[in-house]
Amino acid sequence: MHDHHMRALKDLKLKATPKRLAILDHLSREPIYRSPEDVWHCLKGEFGRLGLPTVYRNLEELAAGGVISKVLHPNRQLYYFYCRNREHHHHFICMACRRVEDLQTCAAEALEREVGEKIGGMVLSHIVQVNGLCRDCAGESRPGERSPE
Amino acid sequence: MHDHHMRALKDLKLKATPKRLAILDHLSREPIYRSPEDVWHCLKGEFGRLGLPTVYRNLEELAAGGVISKVLHPNRQLYYFYCRNREHHHHFICMACRRVEDLQTCAAEALEREVGEKIGGMVLSHIVQVNGLCRDCAGESRPGERSPE
DNA sequence: TTTTTAAAGCGAAATGATTTTTATTTATCC
DNA sequence: GGATAAATAAAAATCATTTCGCTTTAAAAA
């Protein structure tokens, strides 16, 4: 896993610093989305010093490189998660426990066709995200031990 | 149109204040998404005093009531637009001129089915938005007179 | 119509997540 | 191992968005 992340960073021409690797490792441990501050709290113990801006910067670089993904949260804060699936796909986000799961369904082709034919425009990007409650949280009477916000 | 907006506000149990109506009118004049500050600049001439917080508050109330919609912009600022189509649907956003167009394509049923069957969760909401260049802007060599940001 | 009253509006100040800056450290390539 | 371009820390800045404490106003009631 570590090696895998090393390679990913090398491919992006990002230096494999311990902090960068720790951030990636941390995210890839569980399919849960995290805020920069979450990550910072969890990792600053491991390092004598770790600045919050460093976390922000790294998360953004990794997201820009496509190694991690962002969540569009209604509260408009930033959240990131690691997803090993390298195919084009979208995500289901549990609003209670923050679990992220892959979706196969993608309307990309249909959307692309409609934009091309009816609107006459070109697609630069598309956003699809499903917010809901995962199996576990939907089952419980009090969903989400972890507050969604 | 004015009457139509009056009715919409009444249905939402929001007072039909001149400022609120002006905001709605302004947005519904063109299918373009606007920032709160845009709206404020355009309307504050019409009123001796018009606070930016008032614009923020009204836009948010109207969006909460479903009378207007929000744009998910990469720059993470807030944008709103008026859309007369009351059916469930999604939007194509021109990143250059800010025009918004309706899309018919919606993967809602497929997504709902997949979440139910494969993930075992429940859908609370879904986001679909297509970002691109509209016919006019895709044609031009220098798309977007209006800066996308 | 007037009265009543709950909602809306105001400007100023606060908020708080995110970014920038500058000096210092560190990974990588030879 | 040494050069160098990249990464980091810490503090400070930014700036869109909200809150606060009142004042004003729309609209339901009289």
**Is any Cβ of chain A less than 8 angstroms from the Cβ of B49?**
no
pLDDT number for residue B81? 98
Residues A92, B120 contacting (CB under 8 angstroms): no
- Residue of chain A with shortest Cα separation from B136: A121
Choose from A100, A119, A141 for mutation: most chain B CBs within 10 A.
A119
Among candidate residues B66, B59, B14, B60, the one with its CA nearest the CA of residue B39:
B59
Write out pLDDT tens, residues B91-116: 999 999 999 999 998 888 999 999 99
- CB-nearest partner of A124 from B111, B118, B131: B131
pLDDT number for residue A41? 94
pLDDT number for residue B106? 86
Please report where in the chains the tokens 């930016």 appear, as a residue: B52
The residues, any chain, with a CB within 8 Å of residue B94's CB and separated by 6 or more, are A121, B100, B101, B132, B133, B134, B137, B144
**Is any Cβ of chain A less than 8 angstroms from the Cβ of B75?**
no
Residues of chain A contacting B130 with CB distance shorter than 8 Å: 111, 115, 123, 125-127
- What does the pLDDT profile of chain A (149 residues) look like in tens digits? 678 999 999 999 999 999 999 999 999 999 999 999 999 999 999 997 899 999 999 999 999 999 999 999 999 999 999 999 999 999 999 999 999 999 998 888 999 999 999 999 999 999 999 999 999 999 865 444 444 33
The residues, any chain, with a CB within 8 Å of residue B122's CB and separated by 6 or more, are A132, A133, A138, B115, B116
Q: With pLDDT > 70 as the criterion, what percentage of chain A qualifies?
A: 93
B59/B70 Cα distance (integer angstroms): 9
Among candidate residues B92, B88, B87, B56, the one with its CA nearest the CA of residue B71:
B92
* Nucleic strand C under 7 Å from the C-beta of B21: no
Q: Judging by DSSP bridges, how do beta strands B122-133 and B90-94 pair with one another?
A: parallel
B73/A47 Cα distance (integer angstroms): 35
Write out pLDDT tens, residues A79-97: 999 999 999 999 999 999 9
Among candidate residues B2, B16, B62, B33, the one with its CA nearest the CA of residue B149:
B33
pLDDT number for residue B145? 45
